[in-house]
Chain A
Amino acid sequence: MAQPAVVYEECVTHESSWDADEALTAVYTAHYTSLVRLGALLLRDTGTAEEIVQDAFVAMHARWNRLRDPHKALAYLRTAVVNRCRSRQRHLVVVDKHTPRTLPDEPSAEQAVLRTEETDRVIEAMRTLPEKQRTVMVLRYYGDLSEAEIADTMGISRGSVKSHAARASKSLRQLLEQNA
C-alpha cells in the first residue's frame, strides 16, 4: 500500500493509550455491525438503526476523553443506541396510530434473505410485546447481557428487568405454542 504514515499535527496526550480517532476506529471495527443489528431488531428498520448507531458513534468520539476505556465506550454506545431506538419506537407508535400500516417493517429488499419459519414465528410473536418487554428480550437473547447490564442499559431496576422478562417469556411461550 502506498498509504503514508499517519500524519498527526498535534501531539495527543491522553492517559489512555488511544486517542479518540483510534478508539473510534477500533470500537467501530469491533462493534458497529452488531450495534446496527441490535438497533434493527428493536426498530425493525435497518436504515434508521444505522442512523442512530452512527449518531451514537459521533457522540462517543466527542466524549472519549471521559470514557477512555473501550469497555465503557461500548456500554455507552449500547445505552445510547437503546435509548434512541426506544424513543424512536415510542414516536413511531404514536405516528402509527394516526397513519395505519406505515411502520417500517422489514430490512430493505436486498437484505431480505428468507428467514426460516421458526424465526419468522418468533419475530412475529415479538411484535406483539410492549416496547419495554421487547427491548429486554432483545438485549437478553441477542445482546447476551446479564440482568444487571440490561438494567443499566435501560435505566430501570433489576427487579423491573426480571418482571418484564417474565411477562414477555410467558406471552411468547403461549403465542409460540398456539402457532406451533
Chain B
Amino acid sequence: MSNDPNDPFDELMRRSLHEEADRIEPSDALPEIRARAHAQRSAARRPWLLTAGLAAAGTAAAIGAFTMLNGPDNTADDGDAVAGSTTTTTATVVPESRTPSVAIPSPAPSQAPTEPPSTSPSAKTVSPTDRGVPEPAVKSTVVPVYWLGQQVGAQKKSAARLYRTWAKVSGRPAEQAVRIMTTKQPTDPDYYSVWRGAALNTVTRSNGIVTVDFKQLPKSNLDPDLAKVATQQLVYTVQGALQDNKTPIQITEAGRSSGKLFGQIDTGTPVSRAAAGEVQALVWIDSPSENQMVAPKVTVQGVAAAFEATVNYEVTNLKTRETRKSFANTAEGQKFSPYAFQLTLTPGAWQISVYLLSDQDGSVTDTDTKSIVVK
C-alpha cells in the first residue's frame, strides 16, 4: 500500500469512496435496535428503559402519512366503529378531511371482489376455499397504521402502547397497511415497529375470520407484554383498514399457523382485538402530523383517555426555546375521547407535546410529541 500521503491514487480512492458513501443516508433505526436489544435480554430481569431525548435524526419517512381526526368512535373503545368509518362527527374541523370516496371501495376492473383469488397476483399455497377471499382493491384510500411507542411513566404493565398514523394507499387496503407496518419507518421518530423483516403474503377473509398470511413472520422473541401489544399492532392495523373491528385475525405463515408469535403469542386460534384501554396509547396527536408544514393558526387534535379529561400540552419553539404551556379538555373523561386546542405560532420549527399527569403524584404518565414547521 502506498504510504505517500500525496499520491494522487490515494487521494482519488479516498475521495471516491467517501463520495459514494455519502450518498447513503440511512433512516433512524435506534428505536428498533433498542426494542430488539431489550427483547433479546431476559425480559423479566430488566424492565424497559426509556432513554429520553434520543438523537432521532431525520426520518424523512417513506410514508405519505398525514393525519386527521376521525371521530371519537373509531378509537373510543372495543367494538365501536373502526378508524376509517364514515362517522365523521368531528372530522369536519380537519382541513385534510378524508375523501368521501373512501367508504365506497371501487373494485379495480380486473378484480371482482367475490371471485376466488385466481385474480390475485400473489397466488397462494392453499386452496381459496380454505383461505377466503381477498379484500377488493381500491384506487385510493386512507388507512390507519399503528406503531409502538413508549409509555413513559409505565411502572408495571407493558411499556409500549399503540400509536396511530395515517397513510394513503392504493390497492388492497389491509395488505397495503400491513406492508407499511412491516417495511417502512414511521414518520414520527418516537414510534417503532417490531414487525420489520416480516413479509406479508395475503390478507383474506372467510366467514368470521380474517386471515393474515405471511411468507415470513418476525423471528424475534419479545417479553409477554410487548408481544401482546405488538400482536395487537397487527390486529388494529388490519381491522382499521378493513373497517371492521369485530372479526378476529388468524395469523399464519405460508398458509399454516406457526406456533408462538414473538415467542409468546399462540397463533393456533384467531386473535381478537384487545380493549383499547389495554393497548392503545392514552394520549396521541392526530393532527398535525410529524414534520407537517402548517399555517400560524394551528389546531391540534387528538384522542386521549385522561383523568378528569385533562390533556396538558407544552409547545416549544425549537430555536428560541419560547415555550407555552396549558391544557385542554377531552369531550369526556376517563375514556378515549377527542380533544382539540388552537395555537397561534410564529414562523419556525415548533415541537408540540401533549401529556397526561398521574393523578397520584403528578408525574408525566403518557405523552406524544410532534415537530411541525410553521410557515
A interface, CB within 8 angstroms of B: 1-10, 20-22, 24-25, 28-29, 32-34, 36-38, 40-41, 46, 49-51, 53-54, 57-58, 61-62, 107, 110-113, 115-116, 118-119, 122-123, 137-138, 140-142, 147, 161-162, 165-166, 169, 172-173, 176
Contacts and interface: CB of A to CB of B under 8 A. Distances in A.
Nearest to B28: A32
Nearest to A122: B16
Given A49-B24, A122-B17, 17 more contacts: A2-B313, A2-B367, A3-B53, A3-B353, A4-B364, A6-B50, A7-B50, A7-B153, A22-B51, A41-B17, A41-B21, A57-B37, A115-B23, A122-B16, A140-B13, A141-B13, A141-B17
B363 interface: yes
Contacts of A62: 37, 40-41
Nearest to A26: B55
Contacts of A123: 16, 20
A49 B23 CA distance: 14
Given A1-B369, A3-B353, A41-B21, A9 B34 contact: no
Contacts of A147: 1
B36 interface: yes
B150 to A, nearest CB: 10
A119 B26 contact: no
Given A20-B37, A123-B16, A1 B353 contact: yes
Contacts, number: 161
Given A7-B152, A58-B36, A37 B24 contact: yes
A2 B47 contact: no
B1 A28 contact: no
A133 to B, nearest CB: 11
Interface string B35-51: 01100110000110111
Given A1-B314, A58-B40, A141-B10, A25 B1 contact: no
A22 B54 CA distance: 10
Interface in B1-38: 1-2, 9-10, 12-26, 29-30, 32-34, 36-37
7 contacts: A25-B55, A38-B21, A62-B41, A113-B23, A118-B15, A141-B17, A169-B2
Nearest to B41: A62
Given A4-B363, A50-B26, A24 B33 contact: yes
